[in-house]
Amino acid sequence: MSKPRLFPLIPRFAAALALLLFVAGCTTTPPETMLAVPAAPQKYAAVVIDGSSGKTLFEVNSTAPRYPASLTKMMTLYLLFEALESGRISKQTQIPVSANAARQPPTKLRFRRGETIDVESAIRAIVVKSANDVAVAVAEYLGGSEDAFAATMTARARQLGMRSTVFRNASGLPDGVQQTTARDMAVLGMALRARFPQHFHYFSENDFMFRGRLVRGHNDMLGRVRGVNGIKTGYIRASGFNIVTSYDADGRRLILVVMGADSARQRNDHVEALIQRSLATASAATTRLLYAQEQ
Contact call for residues 96 and 269 (beta carbons, < 8 A): no
Kindly report, residue by residue over 9-37, the tens digit of the pLDDT: 454 444 444 434 443 433 344 433 457 88
Q: What is the pTM of this model?
A: 0.86
Q: Is residue 43 helix, strand or coil?
A: coil
Nearest to 232 by CA among 223, 220, 224: 220
Kindly report, residue by residue over 137-156, the tens digit of the pLDDT: 999 999 999 999 999 999 99
Please, which residues bridge with residue 236 across strands?
A: 240
Q: Is the pLDDT of residue 287 over 60?
A: no
Q: Is the pLDDT of residue 50 over 50?
A: yes
Name residues whose C-beta falls within 8 Å of residue 168's C-beta, 6 or more positions apart in sequence.
150, 175, 177, 178
Name residues whose C-beta falls within 8 Å of residue 261's C-beta, 6 or more positions apart in sequence.
38, 39, 43, 44, 240, 241, 242, 267, 270
Give the length of the chain. Answer: 295
State which H helix or E strand residue 22 sits in: helix 12-23
Nearest to 98 by CA among 130, 125, 148, 133: 133
Q: Is the pLDDT of residue 286 over 70?
A: no
Q: Is the pLDDT of residue 290 over 60?
A: no
Confidence at residue 110, expressed as pLDDT on a 0 to 100 scale: 93
Confidence at residue 4, expressed as pLDDT on a 0 to 100 scale: 52
**Exposed, middle or buried: residue 1 (CB in 10 Å: 0-12, 13-18, 19+)?**
exposed
Domains and CATH numbers, the chain: 12-72+155-294 (3.40.710.10)
Kindly report, residue by residue over 212-270, the tens digit of the pLDDT: 999 999 899 999 999 999 999 999 999 999 999 999 999 999 999 999 999 999 999 99
Confidence at residue 293, expressed as pLDDT on a 0 to 100 scale: 45
Distance CA 75, CA 83 (A): 12
Per-residue pLDDT, averaged over 202-209, amounts to 96
Distance CA 171, CA 137 (A): 10
